[in-house]
């Protein structure tokens, strides 16, 4: 114990030993070879941790930074032992040298333990070549997905577009038939014609909704869209519904987004018309449309005081053709919210709701200020060329 206390008290005391030059017989060449070699090793050992620290600072998010730091400390301490070895030719600080060696020993054992511990994790890390291969693969997958998506969209568009023409013929002929032979038809025959015309009308609405759904996200060239103006246009187009439902609409200031106008119109139109449609018969409709700036995104809140939705249906209503009511109670196709979700998904946002059955529903949606769609990524050729 006394020896230990004495050791630390006289840590830098050099009076017990001669300087290394005077310890044994050194030729100038031998001594300087020793000194210069030690100093060279020390310099190199100092440079390595500095490079590592700079690397960690510049390359944010590198894996296992603590192992890097430990390794850097180990190298730096190794360097310090060589510096002291060189200095001892003039300054025989043997106690200090022993302490630095002890520290180096402890840190080197810790480095070995860390390396063994993180070995498997380090083996699992991908090399830049592996990353490159994966990136290439992902890019190809995105392009493939985007191509098949375009094909599907094209298919849905062509199918719904081509269905319109025979439907128009059916409606026209039914109308013609009724006007030509109406006088001779009995009530039963008229009822059949009315039912067929109503079914054809329903089909037209369905086809139009499907067309809107398939068109969503097809345009990736965005322009500024003033939502104040867009929502005013929607409200204007639904003046009659607003008047009939005696609706009060609270409209907060809305932002301008860089997006595709038709996509955004689909979203706001579906949410607003649902707010007007799914109303309670005993109260006047109150609809609120607000926007909150969340930094990197806008959050929109569209609230109504309508019939509400049971929590178990929150996910289901965003699926295409899913409806909670019969057509006779509330008309509709079950495509509106699926269209909203499709737009918001493509724009990289989120849509969800909160509702109180019998009291009202609030839809929330976020839209990033900088919209980047999958097509944008697929079109990126700045990283690698897929044909490589």
* Site for ligand ADP, rule CB under 6 A: 270, 274-275, 278, 304, 306-307, 309, 317, 323-325, 332-338, 361
Shorter beta-carbon distance to ligand ADP: residue 81 or 305: 305
Closest approach of ligand ADP to the CB of residue 162, in Å: 23
Report residue 82: phi and psi, to 5°: -70, -35
Separation between Cα atoms, residue 276 and residue 314, nearest integer Å:
19
CB of 357 to ligand ADP, least distance (A): 9
Which CB, 101 or 299, lies closer to ligand ADP?
299
- CB-nearer residue toward ligand ADP: 275 or 349: 275
- Using an 8 Å Cβ cutoff, are 258 and 286 in contact? no
Q: How far is the CB of 281 from ligand ADP (least distance, A)?
A: 14
User: Please, what is the minimum distance in Å from the beta carbon of residue 325 to ligand ADP?
Assistant: 5
Q: Which of 323/342 has CB closer to ligand ADP? A: 323
Kind of pairing between the strands at 297-304 and 360-368? antiparallel
Largest CA distance in the chain: 135
Q: Please, which residue, 67 or 324, has the CB nearer to ligand ADP?
A: 324
**Toward ligand ADP, which CB reaches closer, 95 or 342?**
342
99 Cβ contact partners less than 8 Å away, ≥ 6 residues apart? 11
Tell me the DSSP string of 29-75: HHHHHHHHHHHHHHHHHHHHHHHHHHHHHHSTT-S-HHHHHHHHHHH
Q: Tell me the C-alpha distance between 46 and 125, whole Å.
A: 27
Pairing of the two strands 286-293 and 248-251: parallel
CB 258 to ligand ADP: min, Å = 26
- If the CB atoms of residues 38 and 304 are measured against ligand ADP, the closer one turns out to be 304
Dist CA 165 CA 184 (whole Å): 29
Nearer to ligand ADP, 268 or 278 (CB): 278
Helix (H, G, I), strand (E, B) or coil at 234: helix
Pick between residue 72 and residue 360 the one whose CB is nearest to ligand ADP. Answer: 360
Compute the distance between CA of residue 338 and CA of residue 346 in angstroms, rounded to an integer: 12
**To the nearest whole angstrom, how small is the minimum distance from the Cβ of residue 271 to ligand ADP?**
7
| Cβ–Cβ < 8 Å for 51, 13 | no
Comparison of 87 and 206: residue with beta carbon closer to ligand ADP: 206
The three state secondary structure string of 303-328 is: EECCCCCCHHHCCHHHCCCCCCCCCC
CB of 286 to ligand ADP, least distance (A): 12
CA distance 50 to 67: 15
For residues 145 and 373, what is the distance between their CA atoms, to the nearest angstrom? 13
Minimum distance from CB of 179 to ligand ADP (Å)? 32
We find the least distance from the C-beta atom of residue 340 to ligand ADP, in angstroms, to be 8
Q: Is 377 exposed, middle or buried (0-12, 13-18, 19+ CB in 10 A)?
A: middle
C-beta of 212: minimal distance to ligand ADP in Å?
Answer: 12
- In the block, tokens 């995105």 appear at 142
């Amino acid at each position: 114990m006394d020896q230990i206390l004495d050791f630390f008290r006289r840590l830098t005391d050099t009076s017990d030993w001669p300087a290394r030059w005077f310890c044994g017989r050194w030729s100038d060449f031998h001594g300087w070879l020793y000194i210069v070699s030690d100093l060279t090793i020390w310099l190199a050992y100092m440079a390595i941790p500095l490079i590592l620290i700079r690397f960690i600072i510049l390359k944010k998010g590198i894996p296992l930074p603590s192992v890097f730091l430990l390794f850097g400390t180990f190298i730096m301490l190794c360097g310090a032992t060589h510096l002291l070895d060189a200095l001892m030719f003039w300054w025989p600080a043997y106690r200090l040298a022993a302490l630095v060696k002890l520290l180096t020993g402890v840190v080197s054992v810790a480095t070995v333990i860390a390396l063994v511990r993180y070995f498997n994790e380090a083996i699992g890390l991908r090399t830049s070549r592996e990353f490159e291969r994966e990136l290439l693969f992902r890019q190809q997958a995105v392009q493939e997905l985007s191509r098949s998506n375009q094909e599907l969209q094209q298919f849905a568009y062509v199918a719904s577009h081509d269905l319109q023409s025979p439907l128009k013929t059916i409606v026209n002929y039914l109308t013609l038939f009724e006007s030509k032979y109406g006088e001779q038809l009995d009530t039963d025959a008229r009822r059949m014609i009315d039912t067929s015309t109503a079914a054809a009308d329903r089909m037209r609405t369905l086809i139009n909704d499907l067309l809107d759904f398939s068109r969503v996200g097809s345009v990736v060239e965005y322009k500024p869209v003033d939502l104040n103006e867009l929502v005013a246009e929607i409200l204007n187009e639904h003046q009659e519904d607003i008047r009939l439902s005696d609706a009060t609409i609270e409209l907060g200031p809305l932002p301008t987004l860089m997006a595709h106008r038709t996509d955004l119109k689909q979203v706001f139109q579906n949410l607003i018309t649902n707010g007007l449609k799914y109303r309670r018969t005993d109260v006047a409709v109150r609809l609120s449309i607000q926007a909150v700036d969340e930094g990197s995104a806008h959050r929109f809140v569209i609230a109504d005081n309508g019939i509400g939705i049971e929590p178990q249906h929150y996910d289901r209503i965003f699926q295409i053709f899913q409806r909670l009511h019969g057509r006779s109670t509330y008309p509709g196709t079950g495509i509106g919210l699926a269209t909203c979700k499709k737009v918001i998904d493509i724009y990289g946002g989120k849509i969800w709701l909160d509702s109180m059955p019998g009291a009202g529903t609030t839809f929330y949606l976020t839209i990033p200020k900088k919209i980047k769609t999958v097509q944008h990524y697929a079109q990126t050729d700045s990283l690698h060329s897929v044909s490589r």
